[in-house]
Amino acid sequence: MLKELIQKTGPLPLPSSKSGQIYVCIRKFTQTKMKQNTQTIKCVIVGDGTVGKTCMLIVYATNKFPTQYVPTVFDNYAVTITIDGKPYTLGLFDTAGQEDFDRLRPLSYQMTDVFLVCFSVTSSASFANIREKWAPEISHHCPKVPFLLVGTQIDLRDDPSTLERLQRSHEKPITRKQGEKLANDIKASQYIECSARTQEGLKHVFDEAIMVALKQKTRRSKPERRSCKLL
C-alpha cells in the first residue's frame, strides 16, 4: 500500500533506488516555486487558533517543537516526494484560525488537493467549530476537495494540569469515538489523531493526506478538477 512506502528523510532529497519508494525532503518555500515542472499536491491546514496547526508543520519539517505560540497569518512549506522515480511537490499551507482572517484565509484555498481540518482534543470549542465553521467553510469554497479530520494535542489527554482545567469548566477531553463520529457526520475522508509534541501519529497524518490527494488526482485528469471558488 502507498502509505507503507512513504518515507521521511533528512534535510536533503535521496535518490529513489527502489520501485514504489517515496522519499521526502522538506524546505521552506514561496508559492511561486509550485510552478516548477514537478506535479504538485497542495495541502492546506485549517482550524481554530491555538489547536497546534503550525506546530504540526514545524515539527514535521524540523523535528523540533516550538516553545512559543505565534499566531499565523499565512505560511507554507514544501515536501519533495519521489514515487517510482517521478517527482512531486507537496505544498503545506498553514492558515490563521482567528476570526480577523476569515475574509483573507480563503485566498489560500485555490487549487487545493486536500485539507487537514484540525481541532484540539482538549478544546470542546474547537471541536464544535469543526461542524459550525470549518467544514462549512471548505465545503463552500472547495466542495469537491477531500479533507481529513485531525484531532491534535493528544498528549494532553492525560496531562494533570489540562485535566484540572477542563474539570473546572465541567469538560472532558474529546474521545476518539467522538472524533470518528464527527468525521462521519461531516463526510471527512477519515479521522486521525496526533501529537506534535511527542510526534505520535504525526507522520501518519501527512502520509494519509498524500494518499487521499493522489487517489483524488487519479480520478480527475483535467486542470479544472479542483473546484475552489472565491466569493
For residue 161, the 8-state DSSP code is H
Question: Count of CB atoms within 10 A of residue 147's CB?
Answer: 26
Distance (Å, whole) CA 74 – CA 34? 16
Q: Residue 168, Cβ neighbours under 10 Å: how many?
A: 8
Contacts of 4 (CB under 8 A, 6+ apart): none
- pLDDT of amino acid 16: 31
Domains of the chain: 2-220 (3.40.50.300)
Do residues 202 and 52 touch, judged by C-beta distance below 8 A?
A: no
pLDDT tens for the chain, 231 residues: list them: 455 455 444 333 322 333 334 444 444 444 444 445 678 899 999 999 999 998 998 888 778 888 776 666 446 778 787 766 778 788 899 888 777 677 888 888 999 999 999 999 999 999 999 999 999 999 999 999 999 999 999 999 999 999 999 999 999 999 999 999 999 999 999 999 999 999 999 999 998 998 899 888 877 655 555 556 555
CA-to-CA dists, residue 10 to 44, 59, 121, angstroms: 23, 13, 30
